[in-house]
Amino acid sequence: MHNVIVGTAGHVDHGKTCLIKALTGTDTDRLKEEQKRGITIELGFASLSGEEGQHIGIIDVPGHERFVKNMLAGIGGIDLVLLAVALDEGVMPQTTEHFEILKMLDIRQGILVFTKADMVDEEWADMVEEDTREMVKGSFLENAQSVRVSSYTGQNIETLRKMILEAVRDTAKRRDEQELFRLPIDRVFSMEGFGTVVTGTLLEGCCRLGQEIEVYPQGRIVKIRGIENHGEKAETAYAGQRTALNLAGIKKEELERGEILAAVGSMPVSRQLDARVRLFKSSRRLLCNGDRVHISYGSAQSICKVVLLDCDEIKAGEEAYAQLRFDEPVSVKRGDHFIIRFYSPVETFGGGVILEADAGKHKRCQKEALDILKIKEYGRDDEVLEAIIKERSRYFPELSELSLRLNAAPAHTEELLEKLKKQKKILAVNGKSCIHKECWDIITEFAKQCLNRFHEANPIASGIEKEELKSRLTEHFYLKDAKRSEELFQELVKRGIVTVSGSTAALNGYTGGCSGELSGMMEAIRERYRLAGVEAPTIDEVINGFKDKKQARQIITELVRQDALVKAAPGIYMGKQEWEKAVFVLKNHLDTHPDISLAEYRDLLGTSRKYAVMLLDAFDQRKITKKQGDVRILYK
């Protein structure tokens, strides 16, 4: 069994609702105002059953220009459109507008239905059909079947029903069951004894009773406690069905039309989208860089600023790459189609397709960004995935993110990743993330330059502090967080670019450090600190004993890096063993005494007051001791 959604389109009062009633027996005008005024304001729903077990949902959309936003909420996700043209009036403004919208939403199959056949003669009907065929020339409806019907007399209603069933049997989409569940909400209401109920066309995947799903873009997790498909209770709902879901954990007032129910973590949430935009050939307006417009997508409508990336304006029938910058977060997927409506007064004049559902900010007329957008629009899946990885390399994207951005099943994305790895276009990082080869080469070159510069400036040092190198990588490549810089550093080590010794990192193969004369100088400095004991000299006092003061200072820096010297005060260091002896004397006394005075510590060390004060202050700073009045106690 597979499921199909059929939608109507056409001008107000061209008989769409009566047509559906004649086909299904269901009156889709459900509002009192609709019954009174004789026009459809909100969406209406009915269903047919196919000969081979198909479920056919039918959506009746409003035709009046004031209710186009309601029409847009229902028309997305349909498989087959019935474009209604009343034979007594012919092609009218909303006929043209709806037809342009259908093309922009990439709907590919339809039937031309000429209504009110009982009200005109054959010659007039031929003229109206000829005008309509002229309008649809060059479109998906150019060779569409057509039928003249009368909902009043029943003329050709059965013929139309057979046409619909034939179209469903021959060409209806076979939806991919591997896709993740997605349902744009087009109605929200509350039922006594049940609570919150939403309805919509299930676009992708399936959902089941008891399943936890997410409300986008708000991020709320809710649970499905009831399912109805085409008015019948069910345990599962599949793509292509008109579905009502009874939701637990959320109130009616906390949901609205336009929000999306989808699998948890399956939808991006963003304020910036990259897109290809195009104006209707019939548009009387220009779209200029910086214009604010209404964007209709799924069952939602939002306001955004249009930043044209490759031109300053587009005219009727023209297209361009653009970044859509929204006032509020939105949730769409790559490949979704949308409609553009002018901000004020509201008027439909174009549309487009999403190329990147969570875009970084682009500068206008930037060749690299435009080249990537071309790949995202026209490239094969592996080419698009490579472009996404190249663009996102500094974030080390993982499979889940890449599947989301590509809008592909994880299994398919994984196959593409393996292909790119074999082609050596990308590299795995930390086993689960990836980076583009070109980006990796830039990073490794930067790391090599950093280390080479450090080694040249510090020939005595065995290497740079690891944290310093990570910090430089983070700053230069705008890495997102410490986790990313750590992953990158470990990958540099794993691939033999960097070697690690203790807390330092060096370029692989670096043979610097102290040797020969420098080794003798280092030993002399060590001896100087050893002989000084706790009465540590200043750095200047140490280096003044050497001819090459610069090298002596570098050696002291290296000894500190190696943890052979410990800072006792600003500009004063002690040998590590001498420091540890001073700490031992302190703790040994406090093991048997509640506290220690300055004088007591001075005498225990056999030194002057000056050095005892220096050491006790250092202990306080390192939280070894705590000062209490005139004595110290152990820090707890």
Q: Please report the DSSP string for 187-220 in residue order.
A: EEEEETTTEEEEEEE--BSEEETT-EEEEETTTE
Calpha distance 270→331 (Å, rounded): 7
∠ CA 17-21-22, nearest 5°, is: 115
Pick from 343, 368, 393: which residue ends a domain? Answer: 368
Judge residue 609's burial from the number of C-beta atoms within 10 Å of its C-beta, 0-12 exposed, 13-18 middle, 19 or more buried.
Answer: exposed
Whether residue 337 lies inside any domain: the answer is: yes
Residues 163 and 221 placed together within one structural domain of the fold: no
CATH code at position 615:
1.10.10.10
Q: What is the mean pLDDT of residues 397-406?
A: 91
CB 41 within 8 A of CB 31: yes
Whether residue 533 lies inside any domain: the answer is: yes
Please count the CA atoms within 13 angstroms of the CA of 15 that sit on its side-chain side. Answer: 27
Residues 16 and 116 placed together within one structural domain of the fold: yes
Residues 244 and 330 placed together within one structural domain of the fold: no
CB 95 within 8 A of CB 10: yes
For residue range 93-115, list pLDDT tens digits in order.
889 988 998 898 888 899 999 99
Pick from 230, 263, 296: which residue ends a domain? Answer: 263
Which residues pair with residue 428 across a beta bridge? 434
Q: In this predicted structure, what is the pLDDT of residue 50?
A: 67
CATH code at position 229:
2.40.30.10
For residue range 405-425, list pLDDT tens digits in order.
999 888 999 999 999 999 999
For residue range 225-275, list pLDDT tens digits in order.
999 987 789 999 988 888 899 999 899 999 998 999 999 999 999 999 999
Whether residue 491 lies inside any domain: the answer is: no
Whether residue 83 lies inside any domain: the answer is: yes
Whether residue 335 lies inside any domain: the answer is: yes
**Which position has the higher pLDDT, 530 or 430?**
530
CB 426 within 8 A of CB 385: no
Residues 23 and 154 placed together within one structural domain of the fold: yes
Query: Which two tokens mark 264?
Result: 């948890």
pLDDT at 64 over 60: no
* Segment holding 412, helix H or strand E: helix 410-422
Q: What is the mean pLDDT of residues 200-224?
A: 94
Residues 192 and 165 placed together within one structural domain of the fold: no
Rounded to the nearest integer, the mean pLDDT of the chain is 87
Counting residues of the chain whose pLDDT is more than 70, the rounded percentage is: 91
Residues 156 and 202 placed together within one structural domain of the fold: no
Residues 330 and 233 placed together within one structural domain of the fold: no
Domain range for 563 is: 517-634
Residues 284 and 333 placed together within one structural domain of the fold: yes
pLDDT at 31 over 70: no
Q: What is the dihedral of CA 225, 229, 235, 237, to 10 degrees?
A: -100
- Domain count of the fold of the chain: 4
Q: What is the mean pLDDT of residues 475-495?
A: 84
CB 113 within 8 A of CB 160: yes
pLDDT at 65 over 70: no
Q: What is the mean pLDDT of residues 530-554?
A: 91
pLDDT at 30 over 60: no
Which residues pair with residue 597 across a beta bridge? 631
Whether residue 474 lies inside any domain: the answer is: no
Pick from 263, 282, 313: which residue ends a domain? Answer: 263
Residues 541 and 561 placed together within one structural domain of the fold: yes
pTM of the shown model:
0.76
Percentage helix, strand, coil for the chain under 3-state DSSP, each rounded to 5: 35, 30, 35
Residues 26 and 87 placed together within one structural domain of the fold: yes
Whether residue 333 lies inside any domain: the answer is: yes
DSSP structure string for 241-266: -EEEEEEES--GGG--TT-EEEETT-
Whether residue 302 lies inside any domain: the answer is: yes
CATH code at position 67:
3.40.50.300
Residues 354 and 288 placed together within one structural domain of the fold: yes
Residues 249 and 287 placed together within one structural domain of the fold: no
